[in-house]
Structures are given as structure tokens and as C-alpha cells.
């Protein structure tokens, strides 16, 4: 495991294109935070008075949060913990999942929390953009929630088309967004040039000295400025670290800092601007164009979060933490562009419920940040393990580095604990439900594998029986899919017992998912020729790859496998599960696993098998 990513994305010729593309996808969430972050500090439910000391203190907290959490922790440290170029919390889980069960559970909970983030981000982002209409006139106020709902419904309805068609415009739009928000901040800074002194971290220290524990309430608003930091790491696999780092340091961070300083300078000149300092930076003639640009930017930010939820679901399925969903690839060129209908509609309903339930972005801000800060803490904990076990860092070095980040993370997390009763419970509830599903599915799968293992017949015994009582052999190839790469699967025994025939060629096929994102064609195959016309084939896919079985078997033919695709029949087990109190999990978890299993996507579609060549054989198992 190298400390530096070895991803091939960042070749010199493609670097400019990748920088623009990354600007359009990666920075949407954190890039639209100026819409509401500073406002929540001075006008939210825990607002502090607008005074020079408070403005300088909050701006100093915002700037140093961007430096410490985003620039140093994520871009310079955590991004080195890549899994064959892939980032994100599930990539970290894959790196440590053979080492400590407790850490895996914590990592899974962090991944589960991201679904709550995926529900809140579109709601608060689009709602905060549309709220700009009320700055010019209060006549628009009754229409803000309906307009937001219409935009969100349209966003979710077009998800099935994927981002490949419109992705090319995301980058230029976000470049325009960052340039515009910087331009908005410059005139206000010119009027209050002393505001740049907020770079001095002593202002942040003085702020906490003056406010004491009450400063945590304000820190709950400051954290809104760094929401989206996890997305920088999660999207690393699509662009590589270099384009993300260059985009951040060259454009995104300078633009954000200038805009935040502009808002702070405006507050020093006009304390009444605290109700919405971002839009109050705009001259009157630019207000409506800014609302339009802000809405487009928040749609792009929402698109990135929604797409991230789809990718997270695909990885969870492949790693064995979620039941099979319908995974649709929306691009023939980009492997990461997938669409999951069930997740899309669940996110849409939850997002609309949040909009109509909370009604304002200020109310939603109380729910926002809990999932983000908890995930930040978990990422730091997992990164410590990677630094120790993968990079070979000493205990002292790893503790000092990650411990420093953890102090900051825990401060933000503590600030957001205070939000639980005001809406912070929502992402925690979503995370708990998703974690329960993930852990139940993973444990249930292991129990099923154990039960199938007990029902297996050893190969030597099976072949001895074939020699003693040879069955009728018919032309063609039968592929028996089995979760275990040992013994004879129960479906083959059932087939032979009831049908009393075997195909001329029999393939015992096991599909596995590796701990790396992608595995090349030849490297993923193990082909072993047995006796009596039998073959054992084990194919391993990466956790971001779609498991295409016919394609893998075509590659296996190059390694000697005898198979005619036009004369091949696939045999799958159709499991009927029963919950008991004798073995396995608690009865309610058994029943949950059975429910998930019955409603999981059919293996035929998931493995891309030709439907007219699939035969399912029923097997009953007790859990």
C-alpha cells in the first residue's frame, strides 16, 4: 500500500479536463455552503450578536476549519489512504475489514450516516437558494417551499438519465459560481479591509475565551462551512487526487474565503444583513440572476450527493453489506455513473418530507451537520489504523497526526450533539436504520453460507458416486452458481437427484468481491479442470464493478474452459428461508433478513445472465 495514490487518472494531457470535471462534481456541496453557513451563526436559533469581536472570531473559525479539516486533513492526509485509487469511507472499511470487527462496525455506521446526509443536502441547498427570492419582496415567501419541491422532484425524476449528458456543463457552471461569489465579496472587503485580520487564529481563541462552552453553539453553525469535505475524498476515484487538490487550492478555497470575508465585512457595516448576508452582498440588479445561479449550483451539489448515494449502495452490495438492488449503468464510458431506482425514490420522498416538515433552511440547518461530523470522526479513526498497519507509521507519529485531527472533529461533533433535539436526530435515525440493515444482511449471509456448507458433498465423494452410478449425460454446458468455492453445491445434488441427468460439461462457478475497487479480466479468474467433465471457476470482481458473469466466462474460455455460450444453461438456488430460535440471530433480525432476501433483486439481473437460459432450483434453509 503506497502512501501516494497510484491512480492513472492524473496524466498530464488529461489534467486540465479532470480539474474542470472535478470542479463540477466534487465541490458542489462545500461550494454552496456560503449560502447559509455564516447566516446560521448570526441569525440562526443560536445566533450571537453582530459585533466586531464576534465577526472576526467566527470568520477565523471558518477559515481555519477550511485549512485544518479540508486542506490538511482530507486533501493532504486522508487522500493518501486510497484503495487502488478509490476513496470514501467504504474504501477505508475495505482496507481494515480483515483486521478488526469493531472498526468495521464503526465504519459501516459512518457509511450509513451518509444516506442521511444525502437526504438533507438537496433539501437545505435548494431551499437556501430559492429563499433568495424573499430578499427583494416578501410576496414570494408563500411560494418558496412549493418552488423548492418542484425543483427537487424534477431533479430526482431525471436521475435515470445519468450525468454523462449534462456533466460537461457542470464544471464551467461551478467555475462561474466560484468566480461570481469571489467578485461579490471583493467590494465589501474593500470597504472594510481590516477584515483580512481574521486570518489570525488568535481571534478564534479569543472568541472561545469570551463565550466559554457557549461557543460550541456557534461551532454548530461554523461546521456548515465544511460540509462536503467527505465528498472530496469519496470522489477521488473518479478524478484522482491531483485534480481535486489543484481545483481546491487554485480556485475553490480562495473564492470561499473571499466570499466569507465579504459577508463578514458587510456585517461590520450593516448588522441587519445577518438575516441573509450572502444575498445582501449582491447589488439589487443582480439579485434574481444570483438566485438562478445559486439554484443551479445547489442542483449540481445535490446531484453529486445523490450520485454518491448510488455509488455507495453499489459498493455496499458488492462488499456484502446490502441486498441486491437494480443497478443501472448510465454511461458506457464511466464506471462510476450508476442509477439505483429504489434508492432514488426513497431519497426523493425523504427530501420532500424534510422540505415540507422543516420549511426553512434555518430549521434544516439544525438537522444538518450531525451526520457530517460523525462521519469525520469515524474517517479519522479508520485513517489511524491505515497509517499504522498499511503505511507502517509508529504509534507516536500516527497518534500525534490523527489525534490532532480528532480533537477538531470531536469539537464539531460535540457542537452538533446540541442539535439533536432540534432535528439532529433525523440523520442519526436514518444512520441507525441503514446500519441495522447492513449488519443484519452481512450476518445473515454468513449464516446462509454456513448452512449451505453443511449441506455440501465433498468433491471426492461426489465423483466416486458418479463413477459407481454414471448418470445420463446430455450435450451442452451447465453452470451451477454457488457462493462457496469448495465442495458440490446443494443445487447440483438436488438437480441430479430429481432430474437424474447431467450436462456434458459442468461448471461450478463462484463469484466473489475483492477488497479493491476493480480487478482486470485475466487477474480475476481462477479456472481449474476437474474430472468427469467438471470445471471449477472462481471469478473475483472489484467492489465498484458490475458482476457480469457471461463476460467473465468468455474470458475464462481463453484460459481453457470448454463452453459454448449458445448452449449453456445457468442453475441458481432459490432459497426459502425460515426463522428459528435455535441458531443465528435474534428472531426479529432473522425475519428482517428473510424480508430483505425475498425483496432483493433477482440474481438473474444482478449477474447479467440471459433470462431464457436460467433455471432456479428451490432449497429450504432454517436460520
Tens of pLDDT, residue by residue over 221-241, are: 899 999 888 878 877 777 788
Residue 70 has pLDDT above 70, yes or no: yes
For residue 98, the Cα-to-chain-centroid distance in whole angstroms is: 21
User: Which whole number is the average pLDDT over 332-342?
Assistant: 69
pTM higher than 0.85 for the full model?
Answer: no
d(CA 458, CA 437): 34
User: Which whole number is the average pLDDT over 418-434?
Assistant: 85
Largest separation between any pair of C-alpha atoms in the chain? 96
- Report whether 232 contacts 75 (CB < 8 A): yes
- Angle at Cα 269 formed by Cα 291 and Cα 190, nearest 5°? 80
User: Which whole number is the average pLDDT over 201-222?
Assistant: 89
Q: What does 6-31 look like in DSSP terms, one character per residue? A: --GGG-GGGHHHHHHHHHHHTSHHHH
Confidence at residue 7, expressed as pLDDT on a 0 to 100 scale:
42
For residue 578, the Cα-to-chain-centroid distance in whole angstroms is: 33
User: Which whole number is the average pLDDT over 377-390?
Assistant: 88
Model confidence at 135, in pLDDT bands (50, 70, 90)? Answer: confident
Residue 397 has pLDDT above 50, yes or no: yes
Q: What is the CA radius of gyration of the chain?
A: 27
Model confidence at 252, in pLDDT bands (50, 70, 90)? Answer: very high
H helical segments located in 192-285: 202-211, 215-222, 229-234, 236-239, 241-247, 253-269, 277-280
User: Which whole number is the average pLDDT over 463-468?
Assistant: 86
- Judged by phi (left if over 0) then psi (alpha if -120 to 50, else beta), residue 385 lies in alpha
Cα within 13 Å of Cα(568), Cβ side: 21
Amino acid at each position: 500500500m503506497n502512501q501516494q495514490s497510484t491512480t492513472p487518472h492524473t496524466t498530464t494531457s488529461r489534467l486540465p479536463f479532470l480539474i474542470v470535471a472535478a470542479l463540477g462534481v466534487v465541490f458542489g456541496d462545500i461550494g454552496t455552503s456560503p449560502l447559509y453557513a455564516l447566516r446560521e451563526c448570526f441569525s440562526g436559533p443560536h445566533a450571537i450578536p453582530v459585533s466586531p469581536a464576534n465577526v472576526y472570531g467566527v470568520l477565523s473559525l471558518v477559515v481555519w476549519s477550511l485549512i485544518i479539516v479540508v486542506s490538511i486533513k482530507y486533501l493532504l492526509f486522508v487522500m493518501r489512504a486510497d484503495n487502488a485509487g478509490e476513496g470514501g469511507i467504504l474504501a477505508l472499511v475495505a482496507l481494515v475489514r480483515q483486521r478488526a470487527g469493531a472498526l468495521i462496525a464503526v465504519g459501516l455506521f459512518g457509511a450509513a450516516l451518509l444516506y442521511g446526509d444525502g437526504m438533507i443536502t438537496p433539501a437545505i441547498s435548494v431551499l437556501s437558494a430559492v429563499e433568495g427570492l424573499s430578499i427583494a419582496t416578501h410576496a414570494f415567501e408563500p411560494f418558496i417551499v412549493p418552488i423548492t419541491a418542484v425543483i427537487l422532484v424534477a431533479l430526482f425524476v431525471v436521475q435515470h438519465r445519468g450525468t454523462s449528458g449534462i456533466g460537461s456543463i457542470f464544471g464551467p457552471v461551478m467555475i462561474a459560481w466560484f468566480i461570481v461569489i469571489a467578485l461579490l465579496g471583493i467590494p465589501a472587503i474593500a470597504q472594510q479591509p481590516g477584515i483580512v485580520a481574521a486570518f489570525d487564529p488568535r481571534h478564534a481563541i479569543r472568541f472561545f475565551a469570551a463565550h466559554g462552552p457557549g461557543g460550541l453553539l456557534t461551532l454548530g453553525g461554523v461546521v456548515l462551512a465544511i460540509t462536503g469535505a467527505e465528498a472530496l475524498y469519496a470522489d477521488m476515484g473518479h478524478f484522482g487526487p491531483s485534480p481535486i487538490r489543484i481545483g481546491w487550492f487554485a480556485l475553490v478555497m480562495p473564492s470561499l474565503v473571499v466570499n466569507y470575508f465579504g459577508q463578514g465585512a458587510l456585517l461590520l457595516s450593516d448588522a441587519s444583513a445577518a438575516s441573509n448576508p450572502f444575498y445582501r452582498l449582491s447589488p439589487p440588479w443582480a439579485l434574481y440572476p444570483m438566485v438562478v445561479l445559486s439554484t443551479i449550483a445547489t442542483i449540481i451539489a445535490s446531484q453529486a450527493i445523490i450520485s454518491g448515494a448510488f455509488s455507495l449502495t453499489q459498493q455496499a452490495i458488492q462488499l456484502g453489506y446490502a441486498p441486491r438492488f437494480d443497478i443501472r449503468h448510465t454511461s458506457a464510458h464511466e464506471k462510476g455513473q450508476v442509477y439505483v431506482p429504489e434508492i432514488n425514490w426513497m431519497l426523493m420522498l425523504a427530501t420532500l418530507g424534510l422540505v415540507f416538515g422543516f420549511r426553512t433552511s434555518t430549521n434544516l440547518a439544525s438537522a444538518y451537520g450531525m451526520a457530517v461530523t460523525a462521519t469525520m470522526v469515524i474517517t479519522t479513526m479508520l485513517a489511524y489504523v491505515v497509517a499504522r498497519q498499511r503505511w507502517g507509521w509508529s504509534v507516536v507519529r500516527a497518534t500525534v497526526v490523527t489525534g490532532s485531527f480528532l480533537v477538531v472533529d470531536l469539537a464539531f461533533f460535540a457542537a452538533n450533539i446540541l442539535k439533536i433535539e432540534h432535528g439532529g436526530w433525523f440523520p442519526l435515525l436514518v444512520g441507525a436504520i441503514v446500519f441495522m440493515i447492513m449488519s443484519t444482511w452481512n450476518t445473515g449471509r454468513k449464516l446462509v453460507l454456513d448452512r449451505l456448507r453443511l449441506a455440501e458433498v465433498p468433491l471426492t465423494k461426489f465423483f466416486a458416486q458418479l463413477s459407481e452410478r454414471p448418470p445420463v449425460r446430455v450435450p451442452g454446458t451447465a453452470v451451477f452458481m454457488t457462493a462457496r468455492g469448495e465442495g458440490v453445491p446443494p443445487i447440483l445434488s438436488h438437480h441430479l437427484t430429481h432430474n437424474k441427468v447431467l450436462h456434458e460439461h459442468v461448471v461450478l462457478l463462484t463469484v466473489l468481491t475483492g477488497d479493491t475497487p476493480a480487478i482486470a479480466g485475466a487477474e480475476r479468474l481462477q479456472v481449474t479442470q476437474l474430472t468427469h467433465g467438471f470445471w471449477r471457476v472462481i471469478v473475483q470482481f472489484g467492489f465498484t464493478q458490475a458482476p457480469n458473469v457471461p463476460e467473465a466466462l468468455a474470458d475464462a474460455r481463453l484460459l481453457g474452459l470448454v463452453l459454448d455460450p449458445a448452449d449453456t444453461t445457468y442453475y441458481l438456488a432459490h432459497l426459502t428461508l425460515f426463522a428459528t430460535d435455535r441458531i443465528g440471530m435474534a428472531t426479529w433480525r432473522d425475519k428482517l433478513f428473510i424480508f430483505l432476501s425475498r425483496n432483493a433483486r433477482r440474481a438473474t439481473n444482478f449477474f447479467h445472465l440471459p433470462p431464457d437460459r436460467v433455471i432456479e432450483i428451490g432449497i429450504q434453509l432454517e436460520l
